[in-house]
Structure 1
Amino acid sequence: MIGTGFGDQASSLMLARLGSSMRKDIAARSQEVSTGVVSDRNAAFGGDHARLATLESAHARTQAHLQAARESATRLEVTQLALSEMGEGLSDLRNGLFLALQSGTSNNLDQASDAARAQFSQVVGMLNTQIAGRSLFAGTRTDGPALVDADTMLEQLRDAISGTADSQDAATAIADWFAPGGGFDAESYLGDNPPGAALTLGAGYSIAQDTTARDPAFRQTLAGLAMAALASELPASNSREGRAHMVGAAAGTLSTAIESLTGAAEALGRDEARVAVAESAAQAELATLDRARVALLEADPYEAAARLEETMSRLEALLVITARSSRLSLTGYLR
């Protein structure tokens, strides 16, 4: 028996390798034709990927800015809604307190206290709002509520006014309790300080992240509500005049709180406007970077199609040669 010679084996191996290379080339050219993107970045850039790396780095950074802007927009929207609902509730309650003072009856004053307690609980609930499991008004400690629950806070306040002599002292004790450094900070606020640095949104825009339940507007809101809520529980004489004085102090405090909430809402509105501009700028920047990246990686469709056709023709010719070589080898073997 005559075996296949070394020359025939080498020729077959060479043809096989050449066919494999052509098939890979055809796959690459087909990908370029279908996607419009170069298949061999290293060859396209001549080994220099610096420009693409710069584009992709800028794209990642801008994408992060866009995400921050969108999250900020949601946070500001929810905060604005809370301020709006809070302000409307306070306005209605304040008007009810004034009506109770005008009537002067014990029954109306007690009803005003009941309404204040309900509003106090609602406000505490708003200040404990969470978005996607993150507390909105707790500063950097976002994994829990900003405040103790309303019943616990009212109990803390009862202890704070238990030794007061009259309604005036009780109102002062409540105001002091909610002042910075008072019992509210020590016993009721469960959050932490706000982030020290502003949140960068790109394109020269940034916003502060400093809204917490310890803001003056919220302290005043809770203080005014607490005065009205506890007016019917004064530890001293608990006279009608004492309750009326306490309700009057509450109405005045709530008037100040409503003004503060309005100012806070206006500041949030300015932040919302900055975030909207920053979001638009980030979207435009991403579109520009995407176009630059496409241009950098774009394959010439005509060149890719021509190279695909050329390689397919070469592969067809190679297959013919391979077939002929196989027939010659078989003839030699049969001899």
Structure 2
Amino acid sequence: MNSLTIGDLSTVFRRMSLVNQTKTNLETYSMEIASGRKAELSKSLSGNFTPLASMERTLRTIESYQRGVDDAVFFASSMQNVLGSVAGHVDDAAAPLINSATYNNSATMEITSAETRATLDSVVYAFNTRAGGRALFSGAATQTTPLQSSETLMAEIQTAIAGATTADEIITAVDAWFAPGSGSYDTAMYKGSASPKSGFVLNDYETANFDTTASNQGVRDTLKGLVLGALVSEGALPGDLSEQAKLMQTAGERLYGASGKMQLLSSRVGAQEAKIEAASVRNTAEQYATERAKLEIVSADIYDSATKLTQAETQLEMMYTITARLSNLKLSDYI
């Protein structure tokens, strides 16, 4: 009867343990080569995950900031598009108003005034633009449309100029209606907030702020110039060509002045766009540096892993070869 001694069992178990360890090594090195990452990260870090956790936290923070950057880019570009559109409308309306005043022709002034009235519709619509569900020119009240309709505006102005018989009287009444604080514009036309919108956080140190609202003086002057130019088509100063011409002339001049203020608003938004771009570049650079540092910790040495994989494969083949030879040994071969 065959039997195994304690020494035999010890040898068998040791060989089995060595085979299992070699198989484990094969899996480890294969995984490192396939993924490019260390399979036993805890061992390589000696159990100290603090630096890696700090890097991952930094990357999550940067990712959050980049979402703020993306929101800021979208908001700024939307605002810039509106300001550009309004500036184009203003430039297109100013010259015809002044030219029509020099012609002193009733039909010409009527047509130009009607065109200015249509431009007023477009400009009010533009200032009421929303981007991503947020009103651009309402300040902190981003869910509120900033301006009432152009129809409401003209109705309010008609009430304000009731009884005026000269261009100067109309101009004075319209100026008073649009005046900040004391006029009716802030209660009858502007529905946004007096407080600016909260800024977009770009990183630990920078915020992009867009404080331009439809209560800004540039916006008031733009609407005021268009209102003055539209009044002739609304029946102001009927039959008095010289006073109508004076009103149209003033409207054109006011729009030229408003154009400069709109350009200033656009440049302020542009300054914030430049700030956003610079912050985005810095965030990207920090993200890249942090990811590189993280890779230094978690990445496996592919060449070293491949070398160890080859060694493990050779070792395992050798073990199987030796085992196969030992299992085929017969006592008769040595007698």
Structure 1 position 114, deviation (Å): 0.5
SS at match of 1:202: coil
1:139 maps to 139
- Among all aligned residue pairs of Structure 1 and Structure 2, give the percentage whose two residues are the same amino acid: 25
Aligned CA distance change for structure 1 residues 53 and 161 (closer, same or farther; 3 Å): farther
Distance 1:247 1:16 in 2: 102
Q: What displacement does 1:136 show? A: 1.8
Shift of 1:147: 1.9
What is aligned with 1:30?
Answer: 30
| 3-state secondary structure, aligned to 1:146 | coil
- Three-state SS of the structure 1 residue aligned to 2:137 is coil
Q: Do the aligned residues in 1 keep the contact of 2:212 with 2:265 (CA within 8 Å)? A: no
8 Å contact 1:194–1:211 — kept in the other structure?
no
Note if contact 1:134-1:143 (Cα within 8 Å) is conserved in structure 2: yes
Q: Residues 18 and 238 from structure 1, CA distance in 2 versus in 1: closer, same or farther, beyond 3 angstroms?
A: farther
Write out aligned runs for 1:1-335 (5 A).
Answer: 26-162=26-162, 164=164, 166-181=166-181, 182-195=183-196, 198-202=199-203, 204-233=205-234, 239-308=240-309
Give 1:299's aligned amino acid.
A
2:85 touches 2:126 (CA, 8 Å); kept in 1?
no
Following the alignment from structure 2 to structure 1, what is the Cα–Cα distance between the partners of residues 167 and 261? 25
- How far apart, CA to CA, are the structure 2 residues paired with 1:36 and 1:227? 71
Shift of residue 16, structure 1, vs aligned partner: 10
Deviates more, 1:176-185 or 1:118-127: 176-185
Distance 2:251 2:29 in 1: 78
SS of residue matched to 1:112: helix
Give CA deviations for 1:281-330 in whole Å, capped at 9, x if unaligned.
Answer: 2222221111111111111224433554566677779999999xxxxxxx
Root mean square deviation of aligned Cα: 3.6
Amino acid in structure 1 at the alignment position of 2:72: S
Separation (CA, whole Å) in 2 of partners of 1:157 and 1:105: 25
What SS does structure 1 have at the residue aligned with 2:171? helix
State the distance in 1 between where 2:319 and 2:158 align.
Answer: 96
Gapped regions of structure 1 (runs ≥ 5): 1-13, 324-335
Aligned equivalents of 2:35 and 2:58: distance in 1? 23
2:202 touches 2:279 (CA, 8 Å); kept in 1?
yes
Deviates more, 1:178-187 or 1:222-231: 178-187
What CA distance in whole angstroms lies between the structure 1 residues aligned with 2:20 and 2:149?
Answer: 72
Alpha-carbon shift at residue 22 of structure 1 (Å): 7.4
Q: How has the CA–CA distance of structure 1 residues 303 and 166 changed in structure 2, closer, same or farther, with 3 Å as cutoff?
A: same
When the two structures are superposed, what TM-score results if normalisation uses the length of structure 1? Answer: 0.78
Q: Would you say how many aligned residue pairs link Structure 1 and Structure 2?
A: 317
Following superposition, the deviation at residue 225 of structure 1 comes to 0.6
Amino acid at match of 2:29: R
**Structure 1 residue 48: deviation in Å?**
1.9
**Structure 2 CA distance for partners of 1:51 and 1:89, relative to 1, 3 Å:** same
The amino acid across from 1:145 in the alignment is: T
CA distance in 1: counterparts of 2:23 and 2:163, whole angstroms: 92
Contact kept, 8 Å, 2:22 with 2:316, in 1: the verdict is yes
How far residue 18 of structure 1 moved from its aligned partner, in angstroms, is: 9.8
| Residues 160, 320 of structure 1: alpha-carbon distance in 2 compared, 3 angstrom cutoff | farther
Deviation at 1:15, TM superposition (A): 11
Shift of 1:96: 0.5
For the structure 1 residues 238 and 157, does the alpha-carbon distance in structure 2 shift closer, same or farther, using more than 3 Å as the test?
A: farther
1:101 alignment partner, SS class: helix
Q: Which amino acid aligns with 1:134?
A: R
CA distance in 1, matches of 2:24, 2:133: 50
* CA-CA distance at 1:209 after TM superposition: 1.8
Query: Unpaired runs of 5+ in structure 2?
Result: 1-13, 325-335
Once the two structures are TM-superposed, the CA of residue 19 in structure 1 deviates from its matched residue by 8.7
Segment drifting more, 185-194 vs 51-60 = 185-194
1-structure distance, mates of 2:26, 2:167: 91
- Whole-Å separation in 1 of the counterparts to 2:17 and 2:169: 97
Q: Which moved more, 1:87-96 or 1:147-156?
A: 147-156
- Tell me how far 1:37 sits from its aligned partner: 1.1
Pair 289,238 (structure 1): closer, same or farther in 2 beyond 3 Å:
farther
Distance 1:152 1:252, change over 3 A: same
Q: Which amino acid is 2:30 matched to? A: S
CA contact under 8 A between 2:139 and 2:197: conserved in structure 1?
Answer: no
